[in-house]
């Protein structure tokens, strides 16, 4: 059970003068149950890449395999693939359309041809998973706040019970509190269900706290792929491409350079605190 990308290339705009080589020879293996952060600057190809994973875009060259099957084989059931690989787009609240929250979440499972009962059960479970209170279920989705709308939209994808959940910039445009709430909810969901989660972001800070693997994209290629500690060790190179390591990484480096015996590879605030306390002998 995994997604494999084999020499994937994608060119926007065909053979016109405006052609853009958006993905260059991408080779990735995404095994089951991983929590992955996909990071890159605006225009690095990360959104293009995730649209390949559920077959919305067809690679110009190369192949994509889901559970060992080529998703662009002529007899492959794309609709089923899209229920298994759930993709939440950027600003997903812009896709809401139903008269109430509950019916909107039902849209996905209904399209899968499930029975009414199963559809409603799934919608209810999904809305619970994203932490939306019952009182909102029968309100118009357009009356909700930005953060709530986004939860509804995420629930709309979760209701299809995907094995892989991809979220494209789920925190864009949210305030810090809304951001933390959404990310915590996703982390909790990941823990409870064990599904694969791919979090697309341009913020190292957001991602470092949660994920176990980071893929850094730059100009359509994979630049780094590894555990957060490994990737952030390249913080100078990351800066050159307009990204940065989390702030604690810099603090820890500075502390170490000024003679404090701390490990410099801490990536989250919690780790940094433990390291500093240890160095101060106050464990």
Partner 1 sequence: MLRDITLGQYYQTDSVIHKLDPRVKLVATICFIVSLFVVKSWVGYVVAAVFLAVMIKLSNVPFKYMVKGMKAIVFILLITVVFNLFLTPGETLVSVWRLRITKEGLQLAVMMAVRLSFLIVGSSVMTLTTTPNSLTDGMEKLMKPLKIFKVPVHEVAMMMSIALRFIPILLEETDKIMKAQIARGADFESGNLVRKAKAMVPLLVPLFISAFRRANDLAMAMEARCYRGGEHRTKMKPLKYAARDRAAYGVLAAYFALCILIRIYL
Positions touching partner 1 (CB under 8 A) are 13, 16-17, 51, 54, 56, 79, 82-83, 86-87, 89, 92, 94-97, 107-108, 110-112, 142, 156-157, 160
11 versus 244: smaller Cβ distance to partner 1? 11
196 versus 218: smaller Cβ distance to partner 1? 196
Distance in angstroms (rounded) separating the CA atoms of residues 63 and 74:
13
Bridge pairing between strands 213-218 and 221-226: antiparallel
Distance in angstroms (rounded) separating the CA atoms of residues 54 and 69:
13
In the complex, minimum distance from the CB of residue 142 to partner 1, in angstroms, rounded to a whole number: 7
In the complex, minimum distance from the CB of residue 210 to partner 1, in angstroms, rounded to a whole number: 23
Distance in angstroms (rounded) separating the CA atoms of residues 257 and 268:
19
16 versus 258: smaller Cβ distance to partner 1? 16
What lies within 8 Å, CB to CB, of 166 at 6+ separation is 50, 53, 54, 85, 86, 87, 88, 197, 198, 200
In the complex, minimum distance from the CB of residue 189 to partner 1, in angstroms, rounded to a whole number: 18
In the complex, minimum distance from the CB of residue 112 to partner 1, in angstroms, rounded to a whole number: 6
In the complex, minimum distance from the CB of residue 274 to partner 1, in angstroms, rounded to a whole number: 40
In the complex, minimum distance from the CB of residue 175 to partner 1, in angstroms, rounded to a whole number: 19
154 versus 223: smaller Cβ distance to partner 1? 154
80 versus 273: smaller Cβ distance to partner 1? 80
The tokens for 153 are 């939209």
The tokens for 24 are 């260059």
In the complex, minimum distance from the CB of residue 221 to partner 1, in angstroms, rounded to a whole number: 23
Bridge pairing between strands 20-31 and 2-12: antiparallel
State how far Cα 61 lies from the chain centre. Answer: 24
What lies within 8 Å, CB to CB, of 169 at 6+ separation is 90, 200, 201, 202
Cβ proximity of 200 and 168 under 8 Å: yes
Cβ proximity of 200 and 169 under 8 Å: yes
94 versus 273: smaller Cβ distance to partner 1? 94
44 versus 83: smaller Cβ distance to partner 1? 83
Cβ proximity of 113 and 178 under 8 Å: no
């Amino acid at each position: 059970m995994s997604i494999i990308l084999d020499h994937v290339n994608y060119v926007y705009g065909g053979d016109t003068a405006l052609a853009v080589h958006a993905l260059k020879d991408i080779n990735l293996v995404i095994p089951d149950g991983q929590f992955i952060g996909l990071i890159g600057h605006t225009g690095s190809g990360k959104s293009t890449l995730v649209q390949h994973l559920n077959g919305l875009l067809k690679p110009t060259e190369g192949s994509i395999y889901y559970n060992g099957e080529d998703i662009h084989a002529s007899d492959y059931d794309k609709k089923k693939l899209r229920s298994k690989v759930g993709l939440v787009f950027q600003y997903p609240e812009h896709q809401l359309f139903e008269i109430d929250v509950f019916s909107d979440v039902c849209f996905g499972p209904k399209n899968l041809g499930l029975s009414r009962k199963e559809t409603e059960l799934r919608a209810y479970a999904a809305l619970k998973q994203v932490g939306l209170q019952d009182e909102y279920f029968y309100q118009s989705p357009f009356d909700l706040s930005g953060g709530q709308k986004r939860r509804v939209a995420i629930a709309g994808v979760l209701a299809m019970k995907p094995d892989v959940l991809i979220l494209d910039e789920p925190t864009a445009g949210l305030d810090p509190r809304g951001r933390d709430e959404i990310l915590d909810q996703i982390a909790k969901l990941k823990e409870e269900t064990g599904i694969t989660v791919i979090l697309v972001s341009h913020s190292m800070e957001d991602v470092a706290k949660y994920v176990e693997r980071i893929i850094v994209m730059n100009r359509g290629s994979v630049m780094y792929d590894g555990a957060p500690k490994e990737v952030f060790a390249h913080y100078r190179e990351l800066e050159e491409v307009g990204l940065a390591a989390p702030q604690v990484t810099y603090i820890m480096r500075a502390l170490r350079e000024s003679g404090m015996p701390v490990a410099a590879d801490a990536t989250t605030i919690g780790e940094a605190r433990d390291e500093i306390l240890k160095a101060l002998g106050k464990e």
